[in-house]
Amino acid sequence: MSELDQTQDRAAEGRRVLLEREVVLEFEQFSSFISEYSANISLGGMFVKTDEPHPPETAFRFEIRLADDGPLVAGRAKVLWVREAQESANRPAGMGVRFLHLEAEGRGLIEQIVSEHTAVGGRPFRLEETGEAAADVGGPPPEAAGIGPEAADKQQVPLDRSTVIELPTLEALLEEARTPTSTLSLDTPPRGWKPGIRVARPQTRPQLVAQIALGAIVVGAAIFFLVRLFASRPVVDPAETEPPPLPRVEDQADVAPPLPPFSGVEEITWRRAGNGAEIIVRLDGSLPRGSWSVDRMSDPPRQRLKLVGASRPYPTETFEVGFGGVRQIRTGFHDGGAGNEQHVLIDLVDPRVGLEESVVEESSVRLRFRRLRP
């Protein structure tokens, strides 16, 4: 092989692009990715902070993903320049990589990140930018200033897949505790998340003036309508607000007339009431005040209901009850000094049963009995 051929082979070897299998940048939270890359990424490339940068011209497939989730950004890239060691706090060690191909979703996410970062005053990332102007975005080292014809020629050389250098996978290169460089603050997106970014933008002076003016208009309109509402209320004559007079009794056809005083007992019924018994005596009219009384009698124990002023006797009968402490009910009609008396006797099973309640309604008397003592 001639010396010329050897020189051409060495030149071709220098133009070969090194190819890595895959580089994975993994983050625990989406906010970590935004904090690190909002100022260090563009559609042309990005800066990757690492203490072990790959050699220039190394090409690789990369993924930026969240833990246990799909990739956020994926594609192919190659190393454009490297910074072997940290030069200052704002110029860490790492490598600037140019994107050779970006998948659609990742491209849309990068566009949004760049747009939101610059909208809040952030400085856009320039992959080829050099010097102090790029110090705050992890720009290239001073020696990478300018892309000469030779470098441009190298970038146009197609990938030579015959030369493969496998490097260890890059993982967890970014620390979540770093101070964010933009106002983006997102929680970890759920599975199936589509790119979307929200930022808190400061309001401008015209916006504040417009909001104040709008608020004044709303308040003024509310006051105007309230004034119109109260001013348009009709004046009501106090005489018109007085309630109409109640109809006379003779005009109330649906009002039943009062019952006349009773003349006798219509019926006697009984029923269970809890663990006792209830006796109901129905009359054919109303009970005037002082026309009835209930008293206790002993040997044998019994309760007597006395109805004074009866003119029609109830048939003398005996009714067997047999529950609630009541043995039987007996009736009797007697002459009295104040008038005829209709008696209703309730015979009790023993002295421990007593009258718990007596209720007099318009035309009936209810007596409730139960065992009062053990």
Task: Look at residues 57, 39, 52, 152 and name the one whose alpha carbon lies nearest to residue 97.
Answer: 57
Please state the φ and ψ torsions of residue 28, each to the nearest 5 degrees: -75, -40
In the chain, which residues have pLDDT < 70? 1-21, 68, 129-204, 232-244, 246-256
Query: pLDDT at position 71, please?
Result: 81
- Which pLDDT value is given to residue 127? 80
pLDDT score recorded for residue 164 = 36
Closest to 82 measured CA to CA, from 113, 124, 48, 131: 48
Residue-range domains of the chain with CATH: 15-155 (no CATH), 265-371 (2.60.40)
Closest CA to 257 of 234, 238, 285: 285
The structure's pTM equals: 0.34
Specify whether the CB–CB gap between 328 and 315 falls below 8 A: no
Q: What is the pLDDT of residue 25?
A: 80
Neighbours of 64 (CB within 10 A): 24
For the chain, the residue count is 374
**Residue 308: per-residue pLDDT:** 92
Q: Print burial letters for 126-164: b (CB count within 10 Å at least 16), e (below 16).
A: bbbbbeeebeebbbbbeebeeeeeeeeebeeeeebeeee
pLDDT in tens, 328-370: 999 999 887 778 899 999 999 999 999 999 999 889 999 999 9
Looking at residue 37, what is its pLDDT? 79
Task: For Cα atoms 40, 49, 73, give the angle at the middle one, nearest 5 degrees.
Answer: 55
- Structure confidence at residue 209 (pLDDT): 84
Given a contact cutoff of 8 angstroms between Cβ atoms, the answer to whether 78 and 96 are in contact is no
**Maximum pairwise Cα distance, the chain:** 161
The 276-283 sheet, strands edge to edge: 265-273, 276-283, 364-371, 353-360
Structure confidence at residue 257 (pLDDT):
74
For residue 91, the 8-state DSSP code is B
How many CB atoms are closer than 10 A to CB 83?
23
